[in-house]
Structure 1
């Protein structure tokens, strides 16, 4: 099974890029974040034409939104809480039919957190920390098995997940209150499989700001997009790829896709 996770930054705007992604990399499942489309306007026909006959999504107008698109049969799941009680379309989950029993797939879009890394002064940062605290507690109380968690988690936890650990320690997405929380969340039953493929000693990014005119030359990236798996699936994990070339596509997202291949 080939799975791709991608913050598309507007599904309707970038439908042609999604079609190109599907044509070039033939995923069985695509997990999207920041779809920015309410459920009643979700482009069902266009998605079906790409071969994804099974879909589960949750969206709203103008921002947020998550979707799982699948060629395989899936069963939508709605057993997790409405995180922070906001009903803001940041999580969707399903069960994938597979040999050995279903595999649970979570697709998350964690709040970005704004600009000021002080929860007393910045409600967006306070919300982000509370969101990760709540997800961490939930997975602690519901230990995952045969599970995959992907998405734009908006945190680059390791030193080599950012272009400059020293300069970004005070910048939201790499502050210690965020990184320690994300590592605690992952430790509740998951393994960071991207770092099983690319060692933590090496730089690894999935996002480059629109503010950088030549993103490739400056290469001031961050790894904000993640793929986690439970240990019971690791023997079936076959590797991953960060699709850097997507950042050079016409009218790109500031995120690129991440492929994960797994035998299920």
Structure 2
């Protein structure tokens, strides 16, 4: 009798477990997507930024698009973060249809938007960058690449305090990635050009040396603004792909 009761209890518990699992498995997966770009409010050009590098413990070191689902429950939903791409675009293919408050965060001023997401939804954000960063490739040899770059404050409350340029064999290049050692006793940095303590707009020239012949490298420049920028987000130029000359 006792054994029959035990067997019956096991059967009931097993049934509940399978029922519970089937209920979990039957929930619909995310069925919508959002995508778009960060567009300069004054030029309508895409504003370059960084992707999610997970560097130094930061999930989104230079900004993130936070979306909050509305009317989902009695309490406000937590933010769902979407990383930007280096070219200033974003895509989230794992989101439920619904209404969201979207807050783009980064080295720019931007307005909050309310998005009705259904199927494939696109929304571009008009933003005002703290710093405008431009860069040019001026010379290429079999062992060097020469660049010039400019950083210019884009708002009276944002003054440029630091500027830098980086070279990397990887397309994912930003302030957390550069090629080789980050310190060289001769020129302070073989593959990074860094200028701190600035008090406004500036221009610089840099020759990256000791490169491999007939090799592809990626370069970009960036600038840091002091002002209402407590997270120390950086602005960037676009990424340049350059191949050194053959021997």
Category of TM-score, reference length = shorter chain? under 0.3
> Which structure features the higher share of strand residues?
2
TM-score, normalising length: structure 1: 0.23
Give the structure with higher Rg (CA). 2
> Which structure features the higher share of helix residues?
1
